[in-house]
Amino acid sequence: MSAQALDDVTIIRVRREDYLALVKQHPSVALKIIGMLDKILDTAYNRLVDVVGESAEQRVCNALYMLNDKFGNELDFTAESIGDLAGIRTETAIRILGKLKELRVIDSPGRGKLRILNQVGLSSLSRGPFYI
């Protein structure tokens, strides 16, 4: 797995011995961590199912819909990062984003910027069929 921070972050490292001592003293911490890992595993599984069962166009629409839900309709994402999220090549993402612009579902007000113009249309296209 990998991650990219959108804001400044602080990363801490906990030694194995310290972590195990904490879990032994506070088992509820281990249960919370297991719960978080369950969510991560479920998300990874769902993404794998999406990659296998959906078209590239649907995956791009799903990625945009998810980003819209988290960050609003003004997105600071490049075609490359959208392609990475959807599990497709940058060139394919560019082609799909171009088609979405033609359909007036999105707009690109500047380099590395996307604007969702039609969230209902995006949701509909994410369910398919949407072939370019």
Query: Cα–Cα distances in Å, from 14 out to 3, 30, 67?
Result: 19, 14, 31
CATH class of the domain at 55-126: mainly alpha
pLDDT in tens, the chain (132 residues): 677 788 899 989 999 999 999 999 999 999 999 999 999 898 887 767 666 667 889 889 989 998 999 999 999 999 999 999 888 999 999 999 999 999 999 999 888 999 999 988 888 888 766 554
Element containing residue 75 per DSSP (H, E): strand 74-75
The token pair that represents 8 in the structure block = 């400044």
Gyration radius (Cα) of the chain, Å = 19
Q: How far apart are CA 92 and CA 17, in angstroms?
A: 46
Give the pTM.
Answer: 0.61
The predicted structure's pLDDT at residue 51: 63
User: Hey, where are the domains in the chain?
Assistant: 1-53, 55-126
Element containing residue 114 per DSSP (H, E): strand 113-116
Tokens 């960050």 map to which residue?
71
